[in-house]
Structure 1
Amino acid sequence: MTVDTHPMNTREDIKLSNAQIAWRAAQDIFDGAYVNLGIGFPEMVARYQPEGRSAIFHTENGILDFGEAPPEGAEDWDLINAGKKAVTLKPGSAFFHHADSFAMVRGGHLDVAILGAYQVAENGDLANWRVGSKGVPAVGGAMDLVHGARQVVVITEHVTRNGEPKLVERCTFPLTGVGCITRVYTSHAVVDVSGGRFVLREKLAAMTIEELQAMTGAKLHVDGDVADLVVPQL
């Protein structure tokens, strides 16, 4: 089934917080997975590993198996992630040159990369580094991550601050990678990218599929049951 777009106000009155989006994404990381978390919002995923599971986190600047952020005032600024935030070390953590770190990425040794996004297209294209004149100076290591990790997923708000959709037919911002995204966790839904289509898997129970479609810049396809998107209060 395909749900057609039609004009409707966005449902920003009901949505998940960033912490809840990160929690939902963390539930799908399998035990022992090697995971790279993008700078900023995706770093929150590390806080919400399910009980009994432990991911091994990788950072491009050369640490494998780092831990939580230290308490304020206890930072060791020689121990930072790629976003220049202080981290702690787990037993068995490893340090290496950033060239070796990117060899791990390019060699296909990461199971999952979790990134933020400005736009995701229905064919899996990702734009997450520049909006017009705004953004970081260059695409950087993200272009390696999106084609080196075995699975690349996005966590993001469903729409921009101006109410523009982030899930679109085609990206209009400079691309980070082509056909690389397989799943998107948003403030309103969980959407798979499959066969050049957005396939709706979960949505907030308080909104209809039609309301969600009105917030989405490409057609949402329904293949089987759509589950309720259920997360704890965080």
Structure 2
Amino acid sequence: MSMDKEIRNRIAKRAAQEIQNGMIVNLGIGIPSLVPNHLPEDVHVMFHAENGILGMGKSPEKGEEDPTLCNAGGFPVTITPGASYFDSAAAFGMIRSGYLDITILGGLEVSEKGDLANWIVPGKRVPGIGGAMELAKKAKKVIVIMNHCNKKGEPKILQSCTLPLTAKECVSMIITDMSVIEVTNHGLLLKEVMAPFTAEEVAQKTGAALNISENLIVVK
């Protein structure tokens, strides 16, 4: 496994630990789509997609893809027993009605107040904001998983987002290649550090004040 792939799967594996049996969960494109591959066999959840699926399973093996079955990002998926299909209006009705327990989204920037920017970099072509704004505001818990810094080595966790916002004050937890950070009413709380990084390194790479938990965990 390449280092980049290993890091992406490490982040997805940690995010999977936030999912409990019986939940309804929506996954964004990118790293979030890897989360189902890391769920324990005894944890049964219904994964939701905006294009009209409830009950997505793991990614199919190469050569086993169904060309008519994909997630909202257009990538092939499998389904689990009890899965159902519906139109996009019903899919968004589920989101807007607050039925989703967790959404796990990628991020470009997150502010110390939990503002999320994840849909556009000015000047780049994108198809649109999609369901991100509904997911960010209506899911009971919003988890953002991303690299701690951008390709230039600059922090993606900031005092204030510089990119256009997806939604304000919506993020509950941030999981990166370096850390697990909770967004609280008293600011950002560093709860876990991913080895070989240290709390000091995480603080240096974070563009906002960071409170360190008294029960800080170092994940090997």
Provide TM-score, normalisation by structure 2. 0.94
What is the identity percentage for the equivalent residue pairs of Structure 1 and Structure 2?
44
Q: Which residue of 1 aligns with 2:172?
A: 182
Q: Do the aligned partners of 1:116 and 1:154 also contact (CA within 8 Å) in 2?
A: yes
Q: How does 1:65-214 map to 2 (within 5 A)?
A: 65-195=55-185, 197-214=187-204
Q: Which is worse superposed, 83-92 or 56-65? A: 83-92
Q: Which residue of 1 aligns with 2:215?
A: 225
**Counterparts of 1:221 and 1:69 in 2: how far apart (Å)?**
37
Provide TM-score, normalisation by structure 1. 0.88
**Counterparts of 1:40 and 1:210 in 2: how far apart (Å)?**
28
**5+ residue gaps in structure 1?**
1-12
Question: What displacement does 1:134 show?
Answer: 1.9
Question: What is the aligned residue count?
Answer: 216
Structure scoring higher RCO (CA < 8 A, sep ≥ 6) equals 1
1:56-86: per-residue Cα shift (whole Å, max 9, x none)? 1000000100212222223221111101111
Q: Which is worse superposed, 169-178 or 65-74? A: 65-74
Q: Which runs of 4+ in 1 moved over 6 A?
A: none
**5+ residue gaps in structure 2?**
none
**Counterparts of 1:117 and 1:97 in 2: how far apart (Å)?**
27
Q: Do the aligned partners of 1:123 and 1:196 also contact (CA within 8 Å) in 2?
A: no
Letter in 1 for 2:219: L
Question: Structure 1 pair 122/71, CA: closer, same or farther in 2 (3 Å)?
Answer: same
Structure of greater Rg: 1
